[in-house]
Chain A
Amino acid sequence: MYNFDFVKAGSVADAIAALKEEDAQPLAGGQTLIPTLKQRLAMPSTLVSLAAIPELHGITQDGDTLTIGAATTHSTVAREVAQSYPALASLAARIGDPAVRNRGTIGGSIANNDPSACYPAGALGSGATIVTNDREIAADDFFQGMFTTALEEGEIVTAVRFPIPQAATYQKFIQPASRFPLVAVYLAKYADGVRVAVTGASEEGVFRWSEAEAALDADFGAGAVKGLSVEPGGMIGDIHGSKDYRAHLVQVMTKRAVEALL
């Protein structure tokens, strides 16, 4: 690891001020960033720790809307939303392993937008709103490709707001060594339609499978996605699975998601 200065921000305003320094970078739970730094894939001058900022913590519910502070850990989400939004709790409970879940945060995962991460699927599948220090961004506009988001330089996620669906499920086909999904599907049913978000599959990162959404809007049954398929061309192909295999898994995991809600 190259050396850097470490700043523990006490408030969002403190963090934004510290991030104005050239090559400064925010540090959330560090479960991706610290391994990245060890590999010398990044060389920040300053790491601005967001973990101790009180306003980034906590979960509140207002009617059918759940707001989760960006610095809330996966284990806290798994524990605290088990009643109010069980599919999201289940997603959080299956990220990494228990020790990773005690450090990793929802804001960190969303801002990193790893093409195989779990939370981007949960946020996009729920039609969540990403709240930053500056504005609110719909999940549909936030995720813009592999490790790319709508966040501007020096802008941080402060919370994620989820509309609670009528029903939802997260179907994760795990890559057991990394514990990331090889492919996973987050399916949520809302009054105004079904949303299907896929992670782990596309070279463009998390995406909505609109063809499946339309078919499920018309007929929410196990047969609805039977004849559908995604084009293998844009899928990730690596030693863990070919493009064709991942394209196949998208359909299989979507079908499992539908069956789980029938």
Chain B
Amino acid sequence: MAQVAMTVNGASVSGDVEGRTLLVQFLRESLKLTGTHVGCDTSQCGACLVHVNGEAVKACTMLALEADGTEVATIEGQAGDDGTLSVVQQAFQDHHGLQCGFCTPGMVMSAAALLKDNPKPTETEIREYLDGNICRCTGYHNIVKAVLAASGQEVPAIAAE
């Protein structure tokens, strides 16, 4: 076992992990932050997406010890302390960007990472950026609308509806 320490959603945390412990296991099993989901466990689906030092990362494909000393942001840190949803979360609710909700933590974190680098993305840029986030319910249109809305842009009727 080895000691790992990092900042998660602004709080300093530490714990004992094995070499093989994944970041997502550390978050879910040690810190009980179960909002970060494990979907495929093969870095395809993006349900485990978190931010490490501000960058989108699949937490199922990073070792906890690789995250030693980093700043990690998860879905639990997105809403305000009083429960007020983040702009992205609110937009997902307003535009029905989820149905079962399993992919949603990853979608929200991915969308937040996109908007940080590209505050006014086009519909195409949004779809390209969400390439690594799989949703089996919505057909994606409402997710794309939610990200457009979160960026403060007009939400058009999207083709193929």
Contacts and interface: CB of A to CB of B under 8 A. Distances in A.
Interface of A: 1-6, 8, 27, 30-31, 34-35, 37-38, 47, 49, 51, 75, 96-100, 102-103, 177, 179
B131 A97 contact: yes
Contacts of A38: 41-42
B61 A31 contact: yes
Given A6-B63, A34-B22, A96-B132, 6 more contacts: A5-B19, A35-B42, A35-B43, A47-B63, A49-B65, A179-B131
Q: Which one of B41, B42, B62 has the greatest number of beta carbons of chain A within 10 Å?
A: B62
A62 B46 CA distance: 38
Interface residues of B, number: 28
Contacts of A8: 65, 68
Contacts of B37: none
B57 interface: yes
Contacts, number: 72
B94 interface: no
A99 B49 contact: yes
Interface in B1-58: 2, 18-20, 22, 41-44, 46, 49, 55-58
A2 B20 contact: yes
Does more than half of chain B's interface fall in helix, strand or loop, or is it mixed?
A: mixed
A38 B132 CA distance: 19
Contacts of A98: 56, 110, 113-114, 129, 131-132
Interface in B123-154: 129, 131-133
A99 B65 contact: no
A3 B19 contact: yes
Q: Which one of B22, B42, B44, B129 has the greatest number of beta carbons of chain A within 10 Å?
A: B44
A34 to B, nearest CB: 5
